[in-house]
Each structure stands twice: as structure tokens, then as C-alpha cells.
Copies of this chain bind each other. A is one copy, B any other.
Amino acid sequence: MDFIKDIVGGFSVIENLKVSGDREGKYGVTIIVSPNSSASAVFTSNKVVAAPVTYTKNVLKKGIISAIFVNSGNANCFTGKQGILDCEKLVELVSKDLKIPKDEIAISSTGVIGRTLPVDIISEVAYKSISKLGSKAENSLAAAKAIMTTDTFPKEAAVEVTLMNGQKVKIAGIAKGSGMIAPNMGTMLSFIVTDANLPSALINKALKIAADISFNMVVVDGDESTNDTCLMLANGASGIDAFTNDEIDSNFQEALNYLCIRLARKMARDGEGATKFIEANVKGALTNNDARIAAKSIISSSLFKSAVFGGDPNWGRIVSAIGYSGAELNPNIVTIAIADEEDDVELVRNGEILAFDNTTYLKRAEKIMQSKKVIINIDINLGDFEATAWGCDLTYDYVKINAEYTT
């Protein structure tokens, strides 16, 4: 896809955008200032929803956002009316300090659930963060760092896309997340800005498509967060439309998909305690949903994830995971292969096992299972649908990180 080009610099590649991030212990604050941008977002489907999600959904009704306030360290979830009041206090702080109307400020939080937001501490960090707003690559990196919780590295991506008409626009984003699905717990947050013109209704449409094949295909532990948010702004700084006649430019959509997948893969790679990255590709499914649930089932299996950690070529667990996924399946025609960057070996071909004990198939599989990146390729051989999911191994450190989270 030569119309999509990776570029470096994160948010700094977008004109008319200032960002910052700062941190005091476990409390971080990221500020994104993008005046008068059209905006839309996708949120968690959890029925328990954090105060900032409720608050931001309301702000987004107008479809215009000029700033985003994000804090890490406290999810401001299950905090009742106080939670909404605390959102208002922080929005007011940003509004006053940056002279931005309150109803154009979105807010997002990640961290522990069921503790009231320490507004005083977070306000202090917020002032420090605001004082550092800038449009350089280092500002983008600081923004990506300040939203981290159990993340071990910041997550940024930026692309330049050549639209169908030959004009060029940019999309940049940051994300955090390491214990999550669909999107999920430990909270997945992602903030994306493009310099293209795109009305909020089309942002919403484009974002749903992109999230569905990226963030929603990452599984770390199967828990789904109360705070997950992917919020996208189009500030129009390029003066270029990324749509014609209410249709999103198809190259733009591809580029957005690509950017979201890049961020999603970084999340899977940074899964809590992960030592290995797993990719599951399913093709030949009878329906799109079948392909998705089969791919996610492999990535979600605690048994298979443990086997990957141990480098154990226990491929029976792959078969079992597809079997209980709910996807239509005939075990007698399925093909299962395992690959890494160097090798690609079939274990089962059209239902016939190749990887018996003491075969070269199994020995090659054993070697692949030692790799840092393990790829599972399944052909269900029933239809034309395919999907990819990403995840990581289940390790001692996952348990350790989550056994000691609030203490």
C-alpha cells in the first residue's frame, strides 16, 4: 500500500496541534490542544462506565472538541455524582488556563476503579503539564508517556496518506493499554488527530471500522475496562477534505486502519507481563464473525498463552480453542500452521495431523514456539472470511503485576 507512509514524530507531524504530558508518581496528565476540531469516539461496551466516559459522551454531542484532558493513576469509575463533579473541576481548570470553552473539552481517565479522584494532586500535575504544551516530537512522547499505567513503553504512530485525488494528509495517534480486550481493562486509551477535514459523523464511521479490526482484536486477559476510549479529532489544518459527498476517502480509511492496527499491535506486545507476541490469522471462515471469534479465542486461551510462555508446542490447545469459540468448524478439513519470522510449518493439513511425536514438523514447531513472535495460521476451509487477532503469552509477571496492583 504505497499510498500510506510511516512518518516519525508522533503528534508533532500535525499542524496546529499542541500536546504535553507530565507525571507525579503514579499520577500522569496528558493535554491535547487542537482548536475547533470535529471529533468522535468509540467507548467501552461495559455497562459500568467511568465518569469521564459519561462526561465525554455528553460533550461529544456537539461534535466539536478543542482540548482533551487525560489522567492516569485513577479511573474515576464507580465514583457516583462526585465523579462527574470531579470531571467538571478538571475541565474548568483547563478551560480557564487555556481559554477554551468548557463544552469543547473532553476528559479521559485510567487507573484504579472505585476510588474518588485525588483532584488536588491531579490539578497540580495538570498545571505542570499545561505549562509544557508544545508541538515538537518530544512533546508527543511526553504525552504518550503520561497516560501509561502498567505499560512498559509509550505507544505512538504517525502516517502520511495520499488521498484518492493525490492530495496528502496526516494522521497521528498515541495509545496506552496493556491488560485488555475489545477494548479493555487496565484500560485502553487512544487519541488520534488528523490534519484533514472530516465531519464528526464520518470520523465516527471511520473510527468504528478501524477499531473493529485493530483495538477490538487485541486480547491480553479478556477483561473489558470501564474506561476504554478511542477519541479522534480532525483539525483541518491541512485544508484538505478526506471525504467526498459524505463518503470517506478510501485511502484515508486504509491509513486510519493501518495506524490503529499499529497502535493495537503495540498494546499486545506490551501486554502485562508479556515476553512474547502472538498473532492469530484465521481464514476460510463461514462468516466475518466466525473468523473474528475463532482468532480471538486462540489469543484468549489461558492454556495456549501459558504454552507459548513455556515454548511448549501444545497445538492441541489451538484446536480446542477454535472448537469452543462458537465458530462453525469441521475438524476433518481444518489446516493449522505455526510460523515465526524464519519458518512456517503446517501441523495439521485438511484435518490430517502432520506433527506427530518425533516428526520434523513437531521439532520445527518447537523451535518456532521459542521465538519472540509466534504466528498461528488457521484455514477453516469452509468459507471466504478472514480475521487477525493479536495477543501475548501468559506469564508469572502477569500474575505478579495484577496481584499487587492497588497495594
Contacts and interface: CB of A to CB of B under 8 A. Distances in A.
A115 B355 CA distance: 9
Nearest to A331: B48
Interface stretch (A17-25, A210-218, A312-320): A312-320
Most chain B C-beta atoms within 10 Å of own C-beta, residue among A45, A179, A226:
A226
Interface on chain A toward B: helix, strand, loop, or mixed SS? Answer: loop
Given A113-B317, A306-B401, A307-B406, 10 more contacts: A46-B324, A47-B328, A49-B331, A77-B320, A113-B320, A115-B357, A179-B303, A314-B405, A394-B399, A394-B402
Given A47-B323, A302-B302, A317-B185, A407 B223 contact: no
Contact of A48 (B49, B323, B405): B323
A100 interface: no
A214 to B, nearest CB: 19
A54 B361 CA distance: 28
B226 A319 contact: yes
Most chain B C-beta atoms within 10 Å of own C-beta, residue among A311, A312, A316:
A316
Contact of A75 (B77, B225, B316): B316
Given A116-B356, A313-B406, A324 B45 contact: yes
A379 B211 CA distance: 34
Interface stretch (A160-168, A237-245, A345-353): A345-353
A322 interface: yes
B303 A114 contact: no
Contacts of A316: 75, 77-78, 112-115, 226
Most chain B C-beta atoms within 10 Å of own C-beta, residue among A78, A113, A185, A301:
A78
A1 interface: no
Interface string A318-348: 0111111001110110000000000000001
Interface in A163-196: 179, 185-186
Interface in A33-63: 44-49
A303 B78 contact: no
A307 B405 contact: yes
Contacts of A353: 78-80, 114
19 contacts: A46-B323, A49-B331, A78-B319, A80-B351, A80-B353, A113-B320, A179-B303, A185-B303, A185-B317, A223-B302, A223-B320, A224-B320, A226-B319, A306-B402, A306-B405, A307-B403, A310-B404, A312-B407, A396-B399
A384 B399 CA distance: 36
A284 interface: no
Contact of A403 (B312, B357, B399, B400): B312
A328 B405 CA distance: 28
A395 interface: yes
A300 B222 contact: yes
Contacts of A223: 301-303, 317, 320-321, 324
Interface string A62-100: 000000000000010111100000000000000000000
A179 B320 CA distance: 13
A183 to B, nearest CB: 11
Contacts of A78: 316, 319, 331, 348, 353
A309 interface: yes
B303 A186 contact: yes
A249 interface: no
Contacts of A225: 320
A223 B324 CA distance: 8
Contacts of A279: none
Contacts of A185: 303, 317, 320
A401 B317 CA distance: 14
A221 interface: yes
A223 B317 CA distance: 9
